[in-house]
Structure 1
Amino acid sequence: MSLVTVLLLAVALGTDAFSMCIGVGMAGVRRKQILIITLTVLVFHIIMPVIGWYAGGYFGKLLGRAAAIVGALLLVYLGGRMLRGAWRGGTEEESRAMVANTWGLFVLSASVSMDALSVGFTLGTRSVNLIQVAGITGLVAGIMTFAGLVLGRFIGNWVGSRAQLAGGLILIVIGIKLFWG
């Protein structure tokens, strides 16, 4: 597998994280949260192809769909909380809490990394350097996560209070898309 192919694969795998993080960033995130979310998604995008490589097709189908459903529902829930906060003039702290706690961060990171698990299964049938592919995938996903969070934060600061409403709608749409699959 050529380096260009691996990079294109990594960008494709990072698009879910990028789009999700625009919505999260619009809700308002602190610098520390940006770093934690970026590193968590990066690690998940390294681990998931490796797990996929070793786990086998049946286990991946069961875990992948369940985690995707939980992740999708969490995104819809987070988006709904953001909408509710925007309508009642609440603070952004409620929305941030979902990605600030360990469980919420874990589920969101896992949900945007499920496609990397599936890719790991496919890569297991090919003669590829798993460490190289997983490392590049993680690094690119981390960069895209960071970019999405920073872009979302910038848009949120620029647009003001309406950004929370837009971010909530974005997360709900992404969650519905992930749920239906």
Structure 2
Amino acid sequence: MSLFTLFALAVALGTDAFSLCIGIGIAGVNRRQIALISLTVLIFHILMPLLGWYAGGFLGSKMGQAASIAGALLLLYLGGKMIWDTIKPGKDEGPRFVITNTGGLLLLSASVSMDALSVGFTLGTQQVSLVLAAGVIGLVAGMMTFAGLTLGKYVGDWIGERAELVGGIILVGIGVKLFF
């Protein structure tokens, strides 16, 4: 996997955090909260792909090409779901998620990192440097979280959905690329 593809993957994974954090930023956060949330999401986006990586590496050694195909299909599914969630009719806009304690912070970080767990599985079936992949994914997710929280203080809701749509398209594109 090229560095460009890895970076595109990291951006796609960071869009969940970015779009959600715009909403959190709109609800109101201070600098300390922005730093804490960004750091926690960064850490989760490093740990989750590592967990998935080891599972994917194990399955890749046992299943060979079938594991690579399964990884590509997983990316296609995740990207398609992100796209569908953005464009589906009759979306229910629930209440904004506001972090009030450590549990909320961990829940937020885990929820926006679940895709990274699945992508870690896919990466485990590819020839990619573990340290590089986890580092790039974590750093990009942390920066996108920071950007989302900061922008949320100044910009309306409309950016969040568009970011998730773009992220879904990127994941689908990478999933298709893994087939070739």
Residue 12 (structure 1) aligns with: 12
Residue 110 (structure 1) aligns with: 110
Give the length in aligned residue pairs: 127
Residue 146 (structure 2) aligns with: 146
Q: How does 1:65-104 map to 2 (within 5 A)?
A: 79-80=94-95, 82=96, 98-104=98-104
Q: List gaps (5 residues or longer) in structure 2.
A: 60-93, 165-180
- In the alignment, is the contact (CA less than 8 A) between 1:49 and 1:118 conserved in 2? yes
> What percent identity do the matched residue pairs reach?
64
Offset at 1:116? 0.4
Q: How does 1:19-168 map to 2 (within 5 A)?
A: 19-55=19-55, 79-80=94-95, 82=96, 98-155=98-155
Offset at 1:54? 1.9
What one-letter code is carried by the residue in structure 2 that aligns with 1:25?
G
More helix by share: 1
Q: Distance in 1 between matches of 2:109 and 2:144?
A: 13
Q: Report SS of the residue matched to 1:99.
A: coil
What one-letter code is carried by the residue in structure 1 that aligns with 2:24?
V
- In the alignment, is the contact (CA less than 8 A) between 1:33 and 1:100 conserved in 2? no
Cα-to-partner distance string for 1:100-151 (whole Å, 9 max, x where unaligned): 3111111111111111000111111111101100100000011110000000
Residue 63 (structure 1) aligns with: none
Coordinate RMSD, CA, aligned: 2.5
Residue 91 (structure 1) aligns with: none
Q: Report SS of the residue matched to 2:128.
A: coil
- In the alignment, is the contact (CA less than 8 A) between 2:55 and 2:124 conserved in 1? no
Cα-to-partner distance string for 1:1-28 (whole Å, 9 max, x where unaligned): 1110111000000000000000000000
What one-letter code is carried by the residue in structure 1 that aligns with 2:4?
V
What is the TM-score with the length of structure 2 in the denominator? Answer: 0.64
Q: Distance in 2 between matches of 1:124 and 1:27?
A: 38
Question: Structure 1 stretch 125-134 or stretch 15-24: which is displaced more?
Answer: 125-134
What is the TM-score with the length of structure 1 in the denominator? Answer: 0.64
What one-letter code is carried by the residue in structure 2 that aligns with 1:50?
L
Offset at 1:55? 3.6
Offset at 1:52? 0.6
What one-letter code is carried by the residue in structure 2 that aligns with 1:138?
G
Q: Distance in 1 between matches of 2:100 and 2:36?
A: 9
What one-letter code is carried by the residue in structure 1 that aligns with 2:41?
V
Q: Distance in 2 between matches of 1:112 and 1:150?
A: 17
